[in-house]
Each structure stands twice: as structure tokens, then as C-alpha cells.
Structure 1
């Protein structure tokens, strides 16, 4: 599916090739999907009004007050993911397997009244870990007969034509130019002394204002790994078995790694001098942060539970490590293929990130003690995310303005149900919907990423025998995203790349072992 993409918005949303911190980073670490135990996972993590499960600590901490006994749980997760990329009407796919610990928790219940059912019934304390997001995936895209090139944006930047002020960079343009003083560089762009401009051999008509390129073949592979994990310290209060209050201190940990390889070559053999090129990019981000959560659950009658929770922003201290490399093969004047390469410096950069505030409104209905239905509505305004305090004193004013203009508020939906088939066996199912964070238009232009979305379908069962519980869940995540293969020129003189559509399917199997005492 082709997307019509404005030149301006192409310049704003440039995945995979950015070493600077920008609106993509803010969304990547703000857009989370809470995951914990297999019971909650099977029920779409719709636990804002239910509680009694450690996953609820990361949704509505009042759920901790619902516990009637102490509990220890552990939840491993097995994942198989497949991503299909469609670019220039060509489909390619890649897969990845992963194993992770999704949850580890301990809850203790402290009764405050031995026999009374009035007043403060118990104080519950919980400590543990839930996974908030998985980054693990492999993706592949490619096409032939493409008349835009990775080199177009580099030439635009070198010539000072970029409308956003991008210029010569040690991580891009410097690698594409062969510097005789250092005897390094891929020798893919050159300076035309007569015209006073930078050129590339891929250009057919470098002296025309609107550049036309020779067709090339392109391929790109992207590998991502890492996660966002939350370590929670929580307290929950039970009043009269009708009102439950809770608070959580969450300490979050980010580890994100992305490596990509982009290739471009002259499959038809028509381009003078140029044979092929390769650009490698590596980014590793680590961060630690903290947040607070407050919540309440109210039971007006035994069959109905209503919940509300507020999450403060998470305040992160972040560190990026980034480097790039470029390789080429050229055959100048038919004298033989020459291999050239260039390598960037190693870039380390510290900054801070503030994610949006979140609010969750929940409701659950218990059906004759044989089943239940639960719904969570989570409100998040992604336009309020902020980048702050760069390590070199940079204040991110323009990036934060782009965040405010490009992103919007969304309502995430989680729905779950449970049926008690026997005294020991429960059957479960759930659904989650996470809409795009992008406005349909920004700065007066259409956004090609406004069609991004994530749907999650889940099912499972639970079996308890004595003090032990065993829960199993299967979750299918279907994600649709649009991304650019490389940075797009903004001046209008150069061909504009087409966005690739990525359809990802992730299969998760979780099982939780629990012990109540």
C-alpha cells in the first residue's frame, strides 16, 4: 500500500538513522503496554477494578488491597515474533524468538482486625517486578527500481539546502566523502568545484534544480532488543471490603538496542562509477526513572467494582551510545572495483525524559460468582512528553514543540472476562486496543504514521490446587506501522522515498506459578 507523504513530515519522522534525541525517542519510551502475570495477560490486562493480581500494581495499586492472603508468583514468557515489510510492492519478512521473565512478585497481608469486618480490615504490602514493554523484533524490507536514494538527503545537507537546518555530520556526510587527508570515507559524494555544489554519481542530471536519479535496488534489515521493566513497592488498604486504596513507587529500567544495515546497489549496471554501498547504524539506550501511582477501587454492591487510578509522569535519566559506518564499492572509469569505508566517532550523550501523565478508569461486573467481565479505559496525552537537560546544556525547545504538535491524546482500551468452569478451573479471554499517538495532520500536513495501531487478543486458563495456582496465557499482538527506509530530503529538489508498511505478529505464551499462604 502506497502512502502519500508530505515532504515536511518526512523530514520530521526519520526512523533508524537519527543519532539525535527527538520525538521518536519520546514516544518509544512513553508508549507502554503493561504485562505481568498469565492470569492478567489472558484477560487483556483489564485489572484496574479487579485487583488481587500483582499486574494490577502497575495499573491501579488499589488492587493490592483486594488480596486476602500472602502470595508469591513467578511468570516466564516465551515469544515468537514475525514482521512483514512491504516496500515498493515487494514483501519481505523476518522472525525472532525470545525468552524473558515477565513477572516476579511477593505480597504479604497484615490483618488489622481479627474478627471485625468494619473499618480497616488489612494492610497489604507488595514488592515485585512487571514488564512494561518488549522491544525484541527483527524486520526486513527491500525493493528494486527505486528512484530515490539514501544519498539524496546527505547531498541536501552538505549543500545547506535542508529546510530544517541539518548540515554536515560526522555520522553521515563525513562517511560518504573520501577525505584524502585521513584517507577514509566511502567516496560516494564529491564536490563539484565548477558548480560549487556537492554531487553523487547516482544523480542523472545533477545540474537541474529538480534532481532525477538512476534506479537502484535497496534493502534494509533492522534488529531491536531490550525492554522497559518496572520494579514496584506498593501498599494497599482494605476498608470494609468495599473501599480499597493503594499507592505505588515504581522504579523503571530501560534497555534498548537497535542495529540496522542499509544496502543500495546498481542491479542494472547503468550507473557510472557506482557499484554498491552499505550503511550500518548502532544505537544503545539505557535509562532509569521513577514514578508514583495512586488508586481507589469501590464496590457499591458485591457484583460491581469501580476503579480509578492516576500515574505521575516517569522521570528518566537517559544515556545514548551511537555510532555509524559506511562501506562502498566503486569502479571509476572502468579501472577496477575499489573498496572504501568510513567510520564515525563514538557518540555518548546524556539527557532526561519526562513521559506523560496517565489516568485509568475501570469497571467490573461479577456474574453470580461464576464469572466476571472487566473493562479499563486508559487516558494518555503523548503531546505532553518532554525531553530535557541535554548533557551539553541543550534544552530541546524545537524537539518539544514537534512533540506537542505531532502527538495527541489517546484512549487505550482493555477488556477481559473470566468463567469459573469448575471449582478449580477458570477459563479466560481478553482484548486490548492501542491507537496511534500521531495526529492525522501536523503543521498543516498529513502524517503517514497516523495509521499506526496495535491490537492484542488473548486467552488462557487457570487451575488451583490447594495453596498452589497455575495459570497459562496465549497472547497474539498484531501491530501495523509505517516507517521510512532512510531520511528524506525536505527542500523539494530531490526524490522522496516511499514509506514501508510493517505488519508485525507477536505470539506470547506466559505461565505463572503461584503460592498462597
Structure 2
């Protein structure tokens, strides 16, 4: 399907689509160092507060109380290549990534119900992301005043966070069957800009242009619920299943706009409601002995993102996701080996591309336009993650550390913006407009290197 001019005129910019999927439809999955070392795979193992990130039934597996805190250091690097040149930019950030606690209540009765446990988990994830793309002197824009400029560079700049606070209860029936339920509360903060720079051909001076309806800021809060079960097929095998409802987001959005016939250049705000996808997870675990455990999780999105319609922008967004969004598919594999007090862990995760192939008109390196170019990785793409970890158990206290490497490659569209029904969707500088009916498309490699350290206490 071709991306229509009307869509981007009303939906504001590409980053709205990216954030809908990358931020609001992807819950933060930062757990303890153990959880992260095993690639977030614990759906059939459970045993701690991070179960609330995958399968709340895992709370019922715990037989002792526990509290932990995790520090995270994230390094996010984007390298954007365009017209034979590349820019790389790295963001490093330290933060409190996770806090978790479980309280166990052993039922001293003759009933087959052994434990009722309560868990609380807080997960926080930085969403800072900066993509700067080099220019192309062959891309020339001629202004109405007879001056001309060449494209110098472009930048998407996003910063903020998304957090998830979960509370849940898990029950143990006869040490063979576990049930759990959780409530999840989300908060998000996004500030984003979309800027292009052009250089004058006459004197070389640079002029900055902001995309219509940017910079923008969004503050959101959301709610979801989850249910899960885990069953032991034998002492060595477990199966699990969990369901998380859509997250119901309320988003307050503010943005700058330019050259309005009535208001000129000004600032506006609006409220949006978004329903993120319903997700189901199935899990399997093999516990060879007290020394080795292996877990596999598979998560599938069952619905698509959907905005409540207040006007044309939400209608166009919903049409886009209806026609082009692919339901989430994610595989996680994690393992742990225990050698006396030492813990060795590793994992791998794969998440599929969220979009079908998209077709756009794009600028070529010589400044021409190639029509109908199809991309299978436009805006976002699939993601691979490898992780390793090490821990040491002091009986009552423990310390864990882990490292993650997450990679993704995608194509990055920008510069598009035309006049549609008297709506100017281009890039603005004082008294000037860059209007374009084609995209510049760069190739972006994203590499995230994440480090985690957890301190925990069992009681």
C-alpha cells in the first residue's frame, strides 16, 4: 500500500506512527539482572516479582519473600547512512531500571492450596533516541524569492521514559498448579522534534526548518490487566499461558504549528485515547535439576493499535494500522546454570517487524525521484537481542549482573510534506516553507548495549 499524502498531512509526522508502536504498544520489559540475562524469558519458571512482566502465575511459585533493586546503564547508538555518508550518535544513560518485591503467605491448613503470594514490580525504560542523517548537495530546493538551498542534514530527536507499575497475586495449588492475576499502571513522557537544515547556495549559510506540528510533547497514563496459569506436567516440565488486556492510554499532546491562516505560528494541545494490542504468551520450561533450567516464551499480539476518533488524524492513523500493521510476534529463550553459589545465565530474543511492506516515492542520490519504492523495513523493523549474566548467592543476599546487546536495522523516511486542502504539512522556518512530495530515505542501524546490576534480599 502506498502511504498517502493525506495521511501524513493529518497524522502530523512519521514519529507519531513510530511512537504508537515503539513506545505505547511495547510495554517496558526491564526486569532484574537475572530476568534481563535470560532475555526476559520466565513465563513458566516464575518465582519472583518479574513474573508480573510475563505471567503473574509465576508469583505463586515463590516459597520465600524477596525484594530487589536494579540499576541500569543503557547505551543507544544510531548510525544513519544517506547518499554515501553516515552519521553516528550515541546516548548513554543511567537509571533505576527495576524494583520488585514478593511477600509469601504459606497456608497452614490441610487444603491443597499451599501459598497465596503478593507481588509488586516497577519497571522503567528510557526511550531516548536520536537519529541524525547527513545531507546531499544534489538535493536542491528553489524558493519563490529565487534563492536556492541544498539539503544539509536531518534529525529526529526523542527523549523521555515509559514506566510500568504492577501489583498482583499468585496462588500455589498442591505444588503442581499455579494461578495469578495482575493490574498494570503505565506512565509515559515523550518530547520529540523533527528538524531539517538547508544550506544557501549563494553564501553557504544554514537555515533550520521544523516539521509542521513539531516539536511536540506527550504525557500519557494507561492501564491493563493480566491473567496467567502454570502447570507441572512432571517434576522436570512446566507449561504456562498468560493473557494481557490491551493498555488503555490517555495521552495529552501539545505541539507547535506554523503559518495557520487565522493563528499564524502558535501552540496547541489536544487529548487522545489509544488502545494498544491485546497480547497472549505461551511458555514452556525444562528443569533438569536444581542446577539447570531452560525457559521459552512466545508472545503473539491478537489485536492492532487503535485511536479513539476525534477527527481526521485519528481516522487516518487507524486506517494505516488496519492496513499495514502486523501483529506482534516475539520469541524469548533463557537458561540458568547453578554451580554452588554461582549463577550463569544467557538468553536470546527476537521480535518481528511491526509493518508490512510500504511503498513510497523517494529521492535518489542524484536528486531525482524514484517512484513506487517498496520497503519491508520502513520506520521500524525486526529486533534481535543477545544477553548474558552472572550472579552470586550469599544465601540471604544476592548480587546479579547482566549485559544485553540489542540490534535492529530499518529505513528512515523524512522530508515529506506537501500542501493538501490548504493544509501545509512541510518544514518551516520564519517566512519560508520546504514542501516536498517525496521522501528522503536513510538506512539506520540501531545498537543498544545495556548493563544491569541487581542487589536482592530473601527473607
TM-score tier, shorter chain, comes to 0.7 to 0.9
Q: CA deviation at 1:490?
A: 9.6
Whether the 8 Å contact between 2:56 and 2:168 is mirrored in structure 1 is yes
| Segment of structure 1 superposing worse, 314-323 or 274-283 | 274-283
* Cross-structure match for 1:434: 351
Measured after TM superposition, the shift of residue 216 of structure 1 is: 1.3
- Structure 1 or 2: more strand by fraction: 2
Deviation at 1:324, TM superposition (A): 5.6
Residue of 485, 499, 505 corresponding to 2:447: 505
Quick one: distance in 1 between partners of 2:193 and 2:315? 28
| TM-score, length of structure 2 as denominator length | 0.84
Equivalence for 1:298: 231
2-side partners of 1:136 and 1:494: how far apart?
Answer: 28
Q: Distance in 2 between matches of 1:394 and 1:27?
A: 20
Q: Which runs of 5+ in 2 are unaligned?
A: 361-371, 421-434
Alignment-derived partner of residue 408 in structure 1: 326
Give the whole-Å Cα distance in 2 for the aligned partners of 1:77 and 1:217.
Answer: 38
What's the secondary structure of 2:21's corresponding residue?
A: helix
| Residues 69, 105 of structure 1: alpha-carbon distance in 2 compared, 3 angstrom cutoff | same
After TM superposition, where is structure 1 displaced by more than 6 Å over at least 4 residues in a row?
442-445
Contact in 1 for aligned 2:258/2:266 (Cα 8 Å): no
Q: Does 1:455 align with 2:384?
A: yes
In structure 1, distance between residues paired with 2:56 and 2:327: 23
TM alignment of 1:99-110, pairs within 5 A: 99-110=94-105
Is residue 59–residue 169 contact of structure 2 (8 Å, CA) maintained in 1? Answer: yes
List per-residue Cα deviations over 1:239-274 (Å, max 9, x = no partner).
Answer: 1111110000001111112234321113x539xxx9
- Residues 273-300 of structure 1 deviation map (CA, whole Å, 9 limit, x = unaligned): x954212442211111100000001111
- The aligned runs of 1:213-224 (5 Å cut-off) are 216-224=150-158
Structure 1 length normalisation: TM-score?
0.75
| 1:46 alignment counterpart | 41
Q: Do the aligned partners of residues 502 and 19 (structure 1) sit closer, same or farther apart at CA in structure 2, a change above 3 Å counting?
A: closer
**Distance in structure 1 (CA, Å) of the matches to 2:145 and 2:302:** 43
SS at match of 1:55: helix
Alignment of 1:350-365 (within 5 A): 350-365=271-286
Alignment of 1:95-134 (within 5 A): 95-113=90-108, 119-131=112-124, 133-134=125-126
Contact 2:416/2:436, CA 8 A, preserved across alignment: no
Contact residue 218 and residue 263 of structure 1 kept, 8 A: yes
**Aligned position for 1:374:** 295
Is 1:398 the equivalent of 2:309? Answer: no
CA 1:256–1:377: 2 relative to 1, 3 Å: same
How many Å apart are 1:9 and its aligned residue?
2.2
Aligned partner of 1:278 in structure 2 is: 208
| Contact 2:257 2:268 (8 Å CA) reproduced | no
CA–CA distance in 2 between the matches of 1:457 and 1:14? 36
Tell me the secondary structure at the aligned position of residue 499 of structure 1. strand
Q: Does structure 1 conserve the Cα–Cα contact (< 8 Å) formed by 2:55 and 2:180?
A: yes
Which position in structure 1 is the counterpart of 2:173?
A: 239
Q: Unaligned regions of 5+ residues in structure 1, if any?
A: 1-5, 152-187, 189-198, 203-213, 327-341
Determine whether 1:138 maps to 2:145.
Answer: no
Say if 1:91 and 1:325 are closer, same or farther in 2 by CA, change over 3 A. Answer: farther
Q: 1:360, CA displacement in angstroms?
A: 0.4
Equivalent in the alignment of 2:305? 385
Change (3 A) 1:22 1:84: closer
In the TM superposition, residue 411 of structure 1 has moved relative to its aligned partner by 1.5
Counterpart-to-counterpart distance in 2, 1:148 and 1:324: 25
Asked whether the 8 Å contact 1:13–1:24 carries over to 2, the reply is: no
- Listed as ranges, the matches of 1:280-359 within 5 Å are 280=210, 281-323=214-256, 344-359=265-280
Q: CA deviation at 1:45?
A: 0.4
Name the counterpart of 1:480.
409
Query: How many corresponding residue pairs?
Result: 425
Counterpart CA distance in 2 for 1:394 and 1:36 is 39
Among 328, 337, 340, the alignment partner of 1:419 is 337
CA distance in 2, matches of 1:307, 1:200: 67
**Compared CA separation, residues 487 and 497, structure 1 to 2 (3 A):** closer
Q: Using the alignment, how far apart are the partners of 1:39 and 1:478 within structure 2?
A: 20
State the alpha-carbon separation in 2 of the partners of residues 513 and 33 from structure 1. 20
Question: Against the structure 1 CA distance between its residues 438 and 148, is the aligned structure 2 distance closer, same or farther, given a 3 Å change threshold?
Answer: farther
C-alpha distance after superposition, 1:324-345 (max 9, x if no partner):
679xxxxxxxxxxxxxxx9831
CA contact (8 A) 2:43 2:297 kept: yes
Deviations 1:158-217 (A, max 9, x none): xxxxxxxxxxxxxxxxxxxxxxxxxxxxxx5xxxxxxxxxx4646xxxxxxxxxxx6713
Sort the Cα spacing of 1:363 and 1:315 in 2 relative to 1 into closer, same or farther, 3 A: same
Q: What SS does structure 1 have at the residue aligned with 2:57?
A: helix
Partner Cα separation in structure 2 for residue 88 and residue 484 of structure 1: 14
How many angstroms apart in 2 are the aligned matches of 1:506 and 1:395?
Answer: 32
- Once the two structures are TM-superposed, the CA of residue 235 in structure 1 deviates from its matched residue by 0.3
RMSD: 3.0
C-alpha contact (below 8 Å) 1:317/1:352 kept by paired residues: yes
